[in-house]
Amino acid sequence: MSIEFAKKLHAHETPIPGVVLYDLPVHGDNRGWFKENWQREKMVALGLPDFHPVQNNISFNEKAGTTRGIHAEPWDKFISVATGKIFGAWVDLREGPSFGAVFTAELNPSQAIFIPRGVGNAFQTLEDNTAYTYLVNDHWSADAQGQYTFLNLADDTAGIQWPIPLEQAELSDKDKAHPRLKDVAPMRPKKILVLGANGQLGKALRDHYDGDTSVEFAGRAEIDLTADESLATVNWKNYSTIINAAAYTAVDTAETPEGRLAAWNVNVSAVVRLARIAVDNDLTLVQVSSDYVFDGSKKTHGEDEPLTPLGVYGQTKAAGDAAVSVVPKHYIVRTSWVIGDGNNFVRTMASLAARGIEPSVVNDQIGRLSFTTDIAAGIGHLLRSGAPYGIYNLTNDGPVQSWADIAADVYELSGGYSSSVTGVSTAEYFRGKAAAPRPLNSLLELGKIKATGFTPREAGEALRAYLKVTPVLNASQEVFLRR
């Protein structure tokens, strides 16, 4: 067996996305040889996914010509030769544009290859007493075999040129019976799971992912985040991402003994459970945060600002953010003044305008509205674009406004008069009422998410769309007509 010694660790891309061939440094002398077969720090730095292997398997083959495959398994594998020499063939059997792509190579102990989930692999031994070893990032089980995808070794479309013709090779009867490429059902990608799918944001995410069968939705009736036994019924290996759209948002009620318990249970304890699940299963966790994690003392709030929550609700959201921050693959999406399909400030003001009521509205709290349509689109963008993990502010764009400014806009757009709205201070509005403390400045900086290629709509445009108001320009002015 000829092994090239003292090669540098090096990665070679292949025609199959995600399949990477590695040169391994092998050190030898008259006694034999030694190599670092798997070295996480160096290999991750070179670009190998940090795929968290949990099982190491060895396949020994007594005779040259032993041929196994083509098997696509529901986990990632890192494969290398321990002794001998093999011819490897890999075929992309994943759903997508690269389905059917083929790569072949001869491997000896100085090489290794990373095979992502869903890529079919086959090996033919070229020497007697050949053994190869592979790391996998899921535990083998009999149930997992039902998730395999197979391709016939002799498929004409793949056109693999086996060094030892298949009629002379040692094959199993099962491998001989595998389907041709035209009959293969591609392996579907792992799914996204949206939790809290019946709330305002959950409904917007349903609309955003409408028709996408790779996204599943669960409300509390399907998965109760506050119950360990409910979470234990989910096979988390089937998912790549959790979007947590569930939250306790009753800001004032959270200040009561019962509300405090409920807020901590949903916004912290449940989030800790999800963070542990994400770490254990190497999932991406998307958590929706709030401007209430800040005290509102700064002119604008960036993603790196230390957390300074005022009330119980803000404290629970800050604690939830802290839990999610330890997940290696996480997005914390920080919003303010959320408006969607449900009871909210804009709908309340539109209802008051329709009834001719002249309200007093707070004018010393400032920020921007966050429409759930734009939050859902921003989350989808972060996941699709592969943006760096971390915290992202996500509100609508445009000028900063007070609640009173927004109420006046709603009145105008609803056919009323902005003068019907009277501005009052927070202290005056809540005098004599039991209320949670609120940040006076909720303006979130948007530069970071814009740098990823996503620009939210201006809040005024989003408000008109939400109220189904169409701007019509005439020669001298802009008139708004109800649809």
Helices (H), 109-256: 173-176, 200-208, 228-232
- Select which of 134, 239, 292, 392 is catalytic: 134
Catalytic residue among 22, 71, 178, 411: 71
CA distances from residue 139 to 56, 94, 233, 430 in whole angstroms, order as listed: 9, 21, 18, 57
The yes-or-no answer on residue 381 being catalytic is no
168: helix, strand or coil: helix
Count the neighbouring beta carbons within 10 Å of the beta carbon of residue 475: 4
Active-site residue flag, 27: no
319's enclosing H/E stretch is helix 312-324
Cα–Cα distance measured from residue 120 to residue 69, given in angstroms and rounded to the nearest whole number: 8
Number of H-type helices and E-type strands within the chain: 13, 27
Length of the chain equals 483
Reading the block at residue 331, the tokens are: 């997005």
Q: Evaluate whether 49 touches 62 at the Cβ level (below 8 Å).
A: no
Give residues with Cβ within 8 angstroms of 151, minimum separation 6.
69, 70, 72, 91, 93, 120, 158, 178, 179, 180, 181, 184
Classify residue 344 by burial, with Cβ atoms within 10 Å: 0-12, 13-18, 19+: middle
Give CA–CA dist 455/472, Å, rounded: 24
Beta-strand runs (E) in 96-248 = 102-107, 111-115, 119-125, 130-136, 149-150, 191-195, 215-218, 239-244
Strands 338-339 and 370-371: parallel
185 by DSSP, 3-state: which? coil
Active-site residues, by number, are: 71, 134
